[in-house]
Structure 1
Amino acid sequence: MPNFLGEFDCKLDAKGRMMIPVGLKKQLPEAVAEGLVINRGFEKHLVIYTRKEWDKTVEDLQELNQYEEKSRKFRRYFMRGASEMPLDGAGRVLLPKSLMEYAGIEVNGEVVLSCQLNTIELWAKDAYDAELDNEPENFARLAEEVKGGAKIRRIDE
């Protein structure tokens, strides 16, 4: 499982293409041969997967019960817009227009690639900045809640 690291500011060209930053491209050696997959995120952003990570995600989706309405709807909404994203000879990727519209990304616009362990989030820069401006006052409390209620020792105790 890849563990991507970093945050990269990029700019799209007039055709909706984005150059993969060198620092990220070094972390994606198989991407040139296998390509990448891009899909809608749960918030108004996009998610980039390596082909291997996408295949694992699809395997998980295949485990959902097709006879349950919620499972069918989830798969349908999750898969909506998923697209292969090959790198061209110059190391650029073309973002699908429908996904750009979903995420509020404009041609010639600024975007942020934010590495999230085994995936890479792609945000319109202003939306990313707004999302991170909403950081909780007590990040330690959020960490405690997310990590299963593990007791966090306070320095002043």
Structure 2
Amino acid sequence: MSNFLGEFDCKLDVKGRMMIPVGLKKQLPEAVSEGLVINRGFEKHLVIYTRKEWDKIVEDLSKLNSYEKKTREFIRYFTRGASELPLDSAGRVLLPKSLLEYAGINTDVVLSCQFNKIEVWAKDAYDAQLDDEPENFANLAEEVMGNAGRGNNE
């Protein structure tokens, strides 16, 4: 599994192309040969995966019970808009217009690395989300991470 690091400010050109920042491109050596996949995020943002990570996700989805309506709906909504994202010779990617509209992205973009994926946010939406940081981040950390690694013996 890839573990990406960093936060990068980018701009889209008039055609919707984005230059992959050098610091991120160094973390994506397989992207040129294997390609990337972009998809909708759960919030109003986009998510970029390496082709290898996307294939793992698709494999997990294919194991779900497609006879259940909620499963079919989830798969349909989760994969809606998923697109290949090849790099051109200049190191740019063309973000699909429908996905840009979904995420409210116009020109200014923030790429936020999250473990095996790269979140793509409209800069104003990303900044607004971070402005909503909980009053007591330590309490949130305890709630989310407090029992990590201990198991639930209750």
Structure 2 counterpart of 1:116, from 114, 117, 133: 114
Q: CA deviation at 1:137?
A: 1.1
1:146 aligns with 2:139: no
| Residue ranges of structure 1 left out of the alignment (5+ in a row) | 151-157
**Secondary structure at 2:18 match in 1:** strand
Distance 2:60 2:145 in 1: 22
CA–CA distance in structure 2, aligned partners of residues 113 and 15 of structure 1: 18
Tell me, yes or no, if structure 1 residue 89 matches structure 2 residue 89. Answer: yes
Residue 13 (structure 2) pairs with residue 19 (structure 1)? no
Q: Residue 32 of structure 2 aligns with which residue?
A: 32
Q: How far apart are 1:147 and its partner, in Å? A: 2.1
Q: Does 140-149 or 30-39 show the bigger shift?
A: 140-149
Which secondary structure state, in structure 2, belongs to the residue aligned with residue 29 of structure 1?
coil
How far residue 64 of structure 1 moved from its aligned partner, in angstroms, is 1.1
Structure 1 length-normalised TM: 0.92
Partners of 1:148 and 1:74 lie apart in 2 by 30
TM-score, length basis structure 2: 0.94
Give the ranges of 4+ consecutive aligned residues of structure 1 lying more than 3 Å apart after TM superposition.
none
**What's the offset of the Cα at 1:146?**
1.5
Quote the sequence identity (%). 82
Once the two structures are superposed, the pairs formed by residues 97-136 of structure 1 within 5 Å of their partners are: 97-106=97-106, 109-136=107-134
Partner of 1:73: 73
Residue matched to 1:59: 59
